[in-house]
Amino acid sequence: MSSRQKNKSLSYQSLLALTALGVVYGDIGTSPLYALKEAFMHSHTQAGAESIFGILSLVFWALMIVISLKYLIFILRADNNGEGGILALTSLVNNTDIKFFGLISAKKVLILLGVFGAAFLYGDGVITPAISILSAVEGLSIITPIFDPYIIPITILILIGLFSFQKNGTAILGKIFGPITLLWFLVMGAIGLFNIFQNAEILKAVNPMYAVNFLSANLHTGFIVLGSVFLVVTGGEALYSDLGHFGAKPIRLAWFAVVLPCLLLNYFGQGAFLMTHPEAVTNPFFLMAPQWILIPLVLLATLATTIASQALITGVFSITLQAIQQGYIPRMLVSHTSAEEMGQIYIKSINRILMISCILLVLLFKSSSQLAAAYGIAVTGTMIITTILFYFVAIQKWKWNIYLTTAICAVFAVIDLIFLGSNMLKIFDGGWFPLMIGIAGFIYMTTWKTGRYILSQCLKEKILPMDDFFIKIKNEKIHIIDGTAVYMNRNQHLTPYSLVHLTEHFKAMHKNIVFMTVLNEQKPYVESKDRYTVNSIFENGYQIVIRYGYLEQPDIPKVLNQLKSENPMFENIFQHDKVSFLIGRESIIATNKPGMALWREKIFIVQAKNEMPATQYFQLPSDRVVEVGTQVAI
């Protein structure tokens, strides 16, 4: 690589790192607003020297072990074609032959765990925007109590604005949010450094013995404190989910160069301030700032927390896309917003659901302190599942040393379990909310996956390999209909069920038969010359494979026009009034047959009815589409 190419590469990575600040690190970067406050307030711990040093030591080592070591060094290695997140990790497990004790197949259990962890992220994705923005807007009350009645309305307006802007894509959002977030981190670090200079002794808290002594001297209280300390690392799983948006190098660069130093400076600055002002425990972040900077700091915090919500929103988009691709969620419209990064996407329906849920959450809990009680329990569950899945991927797929891998993952798992246990204490204080969303999401995803499998099994005996199908109908009296039938076919080697159904019931076929398969390529655009391939598979029978990049919306009529202009022999075959697009549609009937519970079958029926129709997805002319329906009892 030339010097110029290296400089260009470094410049591009640095630009992505700046963008990642606004999209990936917004969540973890705004934790100083409430994490240390909640550690004291939620556990009713006095802000004495022993507790300040102990809690700061816990904060320091949580950031170093959970984020810096576990996620940045290890977990980010586990990408699936560049995509991160727990479902990407689950797909890696799906490609391994895993057995417990060499006997019991564990693959299904691990896959279900992965889906459960992914479902929990939806709960976290609802809480993060709500608590982040609400905690910043509450800073207005410190300036003057006159803002108190307007805290919730202002928060809701900001949420609406944030979600309304999502359609512009994370690339544009990152360019806007990145510099603002960089300023936020630098200001946080500067304020923290100023207070550290007032009491440099606070730096001793990096010694892990302060954490050990605090926990051993305050067993019950210390366990409660851990639930609040966990708030400093809640952005870890979202960070991994956003891997596909930027790649591992920019994410690591942003963390070690900017995020980690500024976070530590601010947390230690808060600790130094509390050493001399223990009464400021009610809101140490804002109270330690000089009076003259308070108003601009509140405004900057409001901007930063609005941006903080981006990490979870983009993470939820990524998880949803992976769930669609892996068959856990029905097909829906996914808009790609960047030609450079495949992972930058926008999903309108998910965006709307998140916005409504966040607004309802703010109205229900009313303050960041009450939301903090609900925050963390879902993501702790996802973190422990991530550790388990990573362990099996490392030893089965990557063939890492089993003893070293076990030792490393055991450390991570113990820490995850401790945090999970401390957060379980929050269930009755609001933790039930993300759990409820997670369980509902798990049921929704597994119902669709299981329902599609049961449906395919019911149709299996009707679907034949193409060669077998045409051998079968040779011996039957088939009436030939004038015109062309285009069958949308997911599998190039199997006969579409709609064709099997028509020949079985009406003993009829069109004169010209076209099997059309649409493939999605791992690049933004496909050149016109590579758009399609055509093969003749029998007399008057053709197989057309169409390829699209991930930034392109399928448009079948446009491809057919291109095909006719480049191959005049198809001009007559694909005349508009002679072409019929045949699409299979199953009318599903819930029964008491073995498979799923009756109530889950009814959910599956609703899911199937609301899946994005193929006519809309492929932009087929509605007046030429024929849906071939069949009733299927599951």
In three-state form (DSSP H/G/I as H, E/B as E, the rest C), the secondary structure along 597-623 is: CHHHHHHHHHHHHHCCCHHHHCCCCHH
Sign of the CA dihedral running 158, 164, 166, 171: negative
pLDDT score, position 572: 83
C-beta separation of 384 from 83 below 8 A: no
* pTM strictly above 0.85: no
Distance of CA 338 to the CA centre of its chain: 17
| φ/ψ of residue 479, rounded to 5 | -80, 130
> What is the DSSP-derived secondary structure letter of residue 552?
P
C-beta separation of 2 from 254 below 8 A: no
pLDDT score, position 3: 40
Longest dimension (CA), the chain: 95
* Amino acid in position 446: T
pLDDT score, position 365: 83
* Residue 25: partners with Cβ closer than 8 Å, 6 or more residues away: 181, 235, 239, 254, 255, 259, 311
* CA–CA distance, 109 with 272 (Å, rounded to integer): 47
* Amino acid in position 357: S
* CA–CA distance, 237 with 283 (Å, rounded to integer): 27
Closest-CA residue to 341 (of 253, 249, 243) = 243
* CA–CA distance, 363 with 152 (Å, rounded to integer): 7
* CA–CA distance, 367 with 362 (Å, rounded to integer): 7
Q: 3-state SS string over 113-137?
A: HHHHHHHHHHHHHHHHHHHHHHHHH
C-beta separation of 62 from 28 below 8 A: no
Instruction: Give the SS3 label for residue 43.
Output: coil
Q: Which residues of the chain have a pLDDT value below 70?
A: 1-10, 43-44, 94-105, 144, 169-175, 245, 311, 336-344, 461-462, 522-524, 550-551
β-strand pairing of 532-538 with 541-548: antiparallel
pLDDT score, position 161: 85
Tell me how many degrees the CA angle 195-28-286 measures, rounded to the nearest 5: 35
C-beta separation of 167 from 347 below 8 A: no
pLDDT score, position 622: 83
Closest-CA residue to 362 (of 128, 164, 163, 142) = 128
C-beta separation of 35 from 228 below 8 A: yes
* CA–CA distance, 119 with 449 (Å, rounded to integer): 14
* CA–CA distance, 547 with 550 (Å, rounded to integer): 10
> How many CA atoms are closer than 13 Å to the CA of 232, on its beta-carbon side?
32
pLDDT score, position 53: 94
> What is the DSSP-derived secondary structure letter of residue 277?
-
* CA–CA distance, 533 with 19 (Å, rounded to integer): 39
Q: Within 10 A of 623 (CB to CB), how many other CB atoms are there?
A: 7
| φ/ψ of residue 24, rounded to 5 | -90, -40
* Residue 46: partners with Cβ closer than 8 Å, 6 or more residues away: 40, 278
Joined tokens for residue 198: 């007032």
Closest-CA residue to 71 (of 315, 326, 370) = 315
pLDDT score, position 344: 66
Long-range contacts at 499-505 (CB < 8 A, ≥ 24 apart)? 499/469, 499/582, 500/462, 500/463, 500/464, 500/469, 501/462, 501/584, 501/628, 501/630, 502/582, 502/628, 503/473, 503/476, 503/478, 504/462
